[in-house]
Chains A and B, each alone.
Chain A
Amino acid sequence: MSDPAYNFAYLDEQTKRMIRRAILKGIAIPGYQVPFASREMPMPYGWGTGGVQVSAACLVPEDTMKVIDQGADDTTNAVSIRKFFENTAGVATTEKTREATVIQTRHRIPEEPLTEDQILVYQVPIPEPLRFLEPRETETRKMHALEEYGLMHVKLYEDIAQHGNIATAYAYPVQVEGRYVMDPSPIPKFDNPKLEMAAIQLFGAGREQRIYAIPPYSKVVSLDFEDYPFEASKADHPCDLCGAEHTYLDEVIIDDAGGRMFVCSDTDYCGERQADGHRGRLSPKLEAAQ
């Protein structure tokens, strides 16, 4: 049940209207960062206040919400945010990607393809993809206005000259619908191809006071070069628990000798596969059989 001391989904109605207007502008201008008067939330800036405000503005009482951090439902930040919405909005929560209508995420896109009936809300620390090339907001705003993205290409090309590779492994910049260069939040670049999806994607950066969006089926291209095409890379292993070869993996150190195992970072996806009988190198069942 929701706590009656607070309004439905915590925020007051005027704040929600302001956030909702920003979300709609973001959808109308895919990839453009809409300024909004982010409010102080009862969790620290940098811990998902932007995502929380966007989710709070979107939730209806009938929603079922899922919250993940690093792909997992049981990480501390995910638990804390899920509890917040259980208490303030009284919505049902789930760990099942398929059952969720609103999914708030930090750093991952679920492996299971999302549907038209779902909304994916990202927590964003630094929304400006040009920020580390040009720290000034006044300058980066001009660069977006003039579609002047040369600096970004120069940076990526310098990487290639120095390392033989583009040295960006996460928060890999994309161009949305051929116009705005956008930071997809710190998801591993493995997830970039999934940014073209059926669900509505909303991005909230609370501390930096920006909201942006990707409407369903929008064209989202990871920046690259003809001779150095973008590559969605992952650890070159199958999952040690479910055997999946196509999922993003966490590397876990398992003993003092430095032994490792690789497991799906999407805990719900991995669990479902195991329930379906898929097995990996270190599956408990296999261990028992040995």
Chain B
Amino acid sequence: MPQDTLTGGFTEAPQQSARAFRSLMNALARPGTIEEITGGTGPAPLSAAAATTLLTLCDGEMPIHLAGGHDTDAIRQWIAFHIGAPICARNQAMFAVGTWQALTPITDFPIGTPEYPDRSTTLIVEMDTLSNTGATLTGPGILTTAQLSLPETAAFQQNRLLFPMGVDCYFTAGTRIAALPRSTKVEAH
């Protein structure tokens, strides 16, 4: 077993996961806000932010899809050891991790049902950088407008039309994280 399989989990799970969750909640409740999130590290190319998000939210009951370059033996073993989540296809995923290019088209992921819109996938989109530039965001959690360096706008506009169904997205870069829930309206800047 490679060394990085065994390391990178939480050393103080109750406290670290609590702080990480607050970052996740603040990011989702205030779309466009960039939060710091630390505590976990996984094998490359998994960012610390994505690794911490998986450690905080996933367990044996949450199937994860690994897209493109994130579907490596090392990451699979790391997830098996620290999280115990089954790795699954796109249409079964409750969480999916990868670059935007690997995750698109996002229309294959579960979007929930009219009765249970919560039964949908949360995407963790790995980015090189994150900044408050680019697309303009409006909607719940945003006082006037916010800006976030989204990889594109059309897919998120399509996703917004599905509301209350749809996927929710986290964007991760290093130890930084931002979110775009399905409720946010996106306009190209």
Contact = CB atoms under 8 A, between A and B. Distances in A.
Direct touch of chains A and B (CB < 8 A): yes
B14 A7 contact: yes
A24 B115 contact: no
Contacts of A8: 14-15, 18
B48 to A, nearest CB: 19
Contacts of B141: 27, 215-218
A180 interface: yes
B22 to A, nearest CB: 6
A145 B14 contact: no
A177 B140 contact: yes
B142 interface: yes
A25 interface: yes
Interface in B155-182: 163-164, 168, 181-182
In the complex, which range does the number of interface residues on chain A fall in? Answer: 35 or more
B136 interface: no
In the complex, which range does the number of interface residues on chain B fall in? Answer: 35 or more
A20 B57 contact: yes
A34 B29 CA distance: 16
DSSP majority for the A interface? mixed
A239 interface: no
Contact of B21 (A58, A142, A146): A58
Contact of B17 (A13, A22, A29, A218): A13
Interface in A11-65: 13-14, 16-18, 20-25, 27-30, 32, 34-35, 57-61
B17 A32 contact: no
A178 to B, nearest CB: 10
A35 B113 CA distance: 14
A29 to B, nearest CB: 5
Nearest to B21: A20
Contacts of A28: 28, 168, 181-183
A29 B112 CA distance: 11
A211 to B, nearest CB: 10
A61 B22 CA distance: 11
A200 B29 contact: yes
5 contacts: A22-B118, A25-B168, A27-B181, A145-B113, A179-B163
Given A29-B181, A219-B140, 8 more contacts: A17-B59, A22-B118, A25-B168, A28-B28, A61-B15, A145-B113, A179-B164, A215-B140
